[in-house]
Chains A and B, each alone.
Chain A
Amino acid sequence: MTATSVAPVEAPQSGVGTGRGARTAELLQRNGALLVLVLVCLVASLSFDTFATTSNLRNVAVQSSFLALVAFGMTFVILTGGIDLSVGSVYALGGVLVAYGAQYGTVLGLVLPIGACALIGLVQGLVISRGGLPPFIVTLAGLLAVRGLVLLVTDEGAQVRTIPEGPLRTLGRGTLLGLQYSVWIVVIAFLVLAVVLARTGFGQSLYAIGGRGDAARLMGLPVARSTTLVYVLSATLAGTAGALLAARSSSGVPIVGVGVELDAIAAVVIGGTLLTGGAGTLRGTLCGVLLLGVIQNCINLVGSLNSSYQSLVSGAFLVVVVVVQTQLARKQQL
């Protein structure tokens, strides 16, 4: 049975709850992040003259693009009720491998990081889906081991390779219609992944797995294969994001990406995806990433505040969001 032949599964988020309150709650939960994003942007453009300028918004887009790719993958993982703590290390691995591969040509510079990261995702996915070990532990071990690989590639962190002039640097710095390539890649990834999630059997099976894993298995869904694929996707996207960052900064730095997994999880949660799995959207995640980016941008614009205020605000914001989300989710179930 191929993944595409599976009949679409009704996503639990649509159709749960009956009353009007439940429907409003559902609508709010799905679009809450978008709503807040619009509000924050409105307030920001009224408060700062420089916020709503093209160059500033372009900046926000570029700076959010790397986290966006990681968070897309994390959304898929969390939809199945899993978690991927290894993405920060994989992000760093993507960066050092693009610089390593670039020494032997552009093609290898692209194939090496993406291939290696996909392989790491495959190993983790197989251990989780076939070995039956908890995702939290497996990817925690992945976080450690992949950081080890990063150090191995860079001569224990001592060697920072630069990417030679060529197509790879253009990929990192070049623009199309005024937007950086990395932003375009995020746009394409978003469109493709959103279609995969909403319109393919694989995407729909993820909602079923996250909603009720054993029920999905009894229905004959390829649970193990879908679960494995999700971790492959997450690692590939994280590696790609790291490679793009390295291409932008022209070198593969081994110490990047510490804590990226937490930012990605925060963005996914802000976007309305339930950590228990089974409900969530890619659109929400994109809004979550942009919200974190806009908050950071606003604090930069204030100027007198340092970066510690940024984490303080993001943390406080996260508390408010999860409290509201939890209440909304509970209302839907009533």
Chain B
Amino acid sequence: MASTVVRTPPEAAAPARSRFDRQRVTHWLSVNGVYVALLLVLLVDGLFLDRFLSVNNLRTQLVQVVPVLIVALGMALVIGTEGIDLSVGAVMALAAAILPLYLGYGWPIAVLMAMLVGALAGVLNGTLVAVVGVQPIVATLALLVGGRGLALVLADGQAKQILDPGLIGFGSDRVLGIPKTVILAVLLVLLVGFVVRRTTFGRQLLAVGGNPRASRLAGLPVRRTLIGVYVISGVLAAIAGVVITARLNYSDPSSVGTLVELSAITAVVVGGTPLSGGRVRVLGTVAGALLMQLLGATLNQFNVPDSTTRIIQALVILVAVGLQRSGRTT
């Protein structure tokens, strides 16, 4: 809207050159800041902490970040459509509850069933958002509230030990020293990156997020795209639930994925994907998830108390979003 554009006062025109440069720096930082921050954390780790950059520790950090990262990939796509998916933690719990019920038929069937439930959750979310027209935050809140309850009912309120060797192997085995779960996460990153950049669906997703009305008028399948995005998010959350269950050898629907929606949103936002939709940064999301994980672990190594760690993480979020905001005004 033209009337809301704030005009720069004339006196600001004089130091135009330095102002221009500063804005370019802010813009560059808003795009690449997350990588800079990640490098800084790694640098500090390398200089001041003895064993932080050891293969063992890095492997532990990667294994720990995998579930959040997988969820964050789906969240990035949803946020790209100007939506949000609060139900991911509940979907992880549902996946964890489904697994033991079908392990008798072999682990591939059980994992497929878990992914199917994730897809169904996505269909529910997507239909509420795209067809009924409910705000994404409310639509997915319903499943957040109800989903974990359903998971607990399915699991009879109990945590169950997983004895299936196939699933346990997936959770703890390594290929060439790299844990299988990390390999899975890398494959999913590549897949989601490919979908966003190289497929029609990816283009439509960004168009719908940028301007839903224009997309509809241009004849894009807005509803189908939105439902598809929530289905992807649901399936990825279910996979994350399977990964955690396999790693812990334990299906515990009451605790799996609690508050993961917040970590995932944080990773996406810190990674430079704006909440206003129309843009998805897949690599940025990966860096965002890694940054928050390594920052937490590093502060822990320096014996920084939990309370201060949380405050620092909050500041990181604010700085990231603040930079994006000032970077956008160029």
Binding partners A and B: yes
Residues of A within 8 A of B (CB): 83, 127, 131-134, 136-138, 140-145, 147-152, 156-157, 214, 217-218, 258, 262, 265-266, 269, 275-276, 306, 308-316, 318-319, 322-323, 326-327, 330
Q: Report if A308-B142 is in contact (Cβ < 8 Å); known contacts: A141-B315, A148-B314.
A: no
| Contact, CB under 8 Å: B142 / A318 | yes
A144 to B295, CA, bound (A): 14
Interface string of B287-319 (1 = CB under 8 A from A): 000000000000000000111111101110110
Tell me whether A131 and B138 are in contact (CB under 8 A): no
**Hey, which chain B residues are within 8 Å of A309, CB to CB?**
149, 153
How far, in Å, is A276 (CB) from chain B's closest CB?
7
Interface mask (B131-159 → A, CB under 8 Å = 1, otherwise 0): 01111011101111111111111000100
Task: Give the interface SS of chain B, mostly helix, strand, loop or mixed.
Answer: helix
Minimal beta-carbon separation of A209 from chain B (angstroms): 14
- CB-nearest residue of chain A to B262: A140
Q: Are B317 and A134 in contact (CB under 8 A)?
A: no
Contact flag A311-B4 (CB < 8 Å), given A141-B314, A147-B310, A152-B307: no
**Docked-complex contact B133 and A151, CB < 8 angstroms:** no
Q: A141-B315, A143-B262, A315-B146 are in contact. Are A266 and B310 (CB under 8 A)?
A: no
Nearest neighbor of A323 in chain B, beta-carbon distance: B132
B134 lies within 8 A of A322 (CB): yes
Task: Specify which of B132, B152, B311, B313 is in contact with A149 (CB 8 Å cutoff).
Answer: B311
Contact B322 A133 (CB under 8 A): yes
From known contacts A143-B262, A151-B306, A156-B307, infer whether A312 and B321 are also in contact, taking CB-CB under 8 Å.
Answer: no
Query: Which 7 A-B residue pairs are closest in the complex by CB-CB distance?
Result: A315-B146, A311-B149, A148-B310, A308-B152, A312-B149, A145-B314, A151-B307
| B135-193 residues at the A interface, CB under 8 angstroms | 135, 137-139, 141-153, 157
Q: Does B217 contact A (CB under 8 A)?
A: no
A207: shortest Cβ distance to chain B, in Å? 18
CB-based contact B146/A137 at 8 Å: no
Q: Which of B144, B151, B322 contacts A131 (CB 8 A)?
A: B322
Q: Are A266 and B145 in contact (CB under 8 A)?
A: yes
Is B95 an interface position by the 8 A CB rule?
A: no
If A275-B135, A312-B149, A326-B132 are given as contacts, then 16 extra A-B residue pairs at C-beta distance below 8 Å, sorted by A number, are: A133-B318, A141-B315, A145-B311, A148-B308, A148-B310, A151-B306, A156-B306, A265-B137, A269-B141, A310-B149, A312-B146, A313-B149, A315-B144, A322-B134, A322-B139, A327-B132
- B141 contacts A140, C-beta separation under 8 Å: no
Chain B contact residue count (CB 8 A cutoff): 50
Is chain A's binding surface mostly helix, strand, loop or mixed? helix
Query: Given A132-B325, A137-B275, A326-B133: A308 and B157 within 8 A (CB)?
Result: yes
Specify which of A137, A318, A327 is in contact with B321 (CB 8 Å cutoff).
A137
Which residues of A lie under 8 Å from residue B259 when comparing CB positions?
258
A151 to B134, alpha carbons, bound, how many Å? 37
Our pick among A138, A276, A306 for the contact of B318 (Cβ within 8 Å) is A138
Partner of A308, one of B149, B266, B275, B311: B149
Residues of B within 8 A of A312 (CB): 146, 149-150, 153
Residues of B within 8 A of A148 (CB): 306-311, 314
Question: Out of B3, B152, B311, B317, which one reaches A140, CB within 8 Å?
Answer: B317
Given contacts A152-B307, A322-B128, contact A262 B141 (CB under 8 A): yes
- Please tell me if the beta carbons of B311 and A137 are within 8 angstroms of each other in the complex: no
Q: Does B265 count as interface, using CB distance less than 8 angstroms? A: yes
Judge whether A311 and B314 touch: CB under 8 Å. Answer: no
Residue in chain A with minimal CB distance to B274 = A134
In the bound complex, residues from chain B placing their C-beta under 8 Å from that of A308 are: 148-153, 157
Closest Cβ–Cβ distance, residue B128 to chain A (whole Å): 7
Beta-carbon contact of B153 and A276 below 8 Å: no
B269 proximal to A (CB < 8 A): yes
A-side contacts of B142, CB under 8 Å: 315-316, 318-319, 322
Chain B residue at minimum C-beta to C-beta distance from A274: B135
Query: Does B218 lie at the interface of the complex (its beta carbon under 8 Å from any beta carbon of A)?
Result: no
- Nearest CB on A from B242, distance (A): 21
Q: Looking at the complex, which one of B86, B128, B137 makes contact with A275 (CB distance below 8 Å)?
A: B137
Q: Which residue of A lies closest to B151 (CB)?
A: A308
- Nearest B residue to A138, CB-CB: B318
Minimal beta-carbon separation of A20 from chain B (angstroms): 23
Which of B143, B146, B148, B321 is the one whose CB lies under 8 Å from A134?
A: B321
Give Cα distance in the complex from A18 to B305, angstroms: 60
Q: Is B47 part of the binding interface, using a Cβ–Cβ cutoff of 8 Å?
A: no
Complex CA gap A157/B307 in Å reads 9
Q: Mark B60-94, 1 if CB is under 8 A from A, else 0.
A: 00000000000000000000000010100000000
Q: Tell me if B138 and A127 are in contact (CB < 8 A).
A: no
**Structural contact, A318 and B157, CB atoms closer than 8 A:** no
Chain A contacts for B276, CB-based, 8 A? 134
Report Cα–Cα, A163/B306, bound state, in Å: 25
**Which single residue of chain A is at the shortest CB-CB distance from B275?**
A134
Q: Closest approach, in angstroms, between the C-beta of B100 and any C-beta of chain A?
A: 16
Contact residues in B for A218 (Cβ distance below 8 Å): 3
Which A residues are CB-close (under 8 A) to B135?
A: 275-276
B1 lies within 8 A of chain A by Cβ? yes
Least CB distance from B16 to A in Å reads: 23
**Contacts A322-B139, A322-B142 given: A149-B157 contact, CB under 8 Å?**
no
- A298 vs B282: C-alpha distance in the bound complex, in angstroms? 46
Partner of B128, one of A83, A157, A217, A319: A319
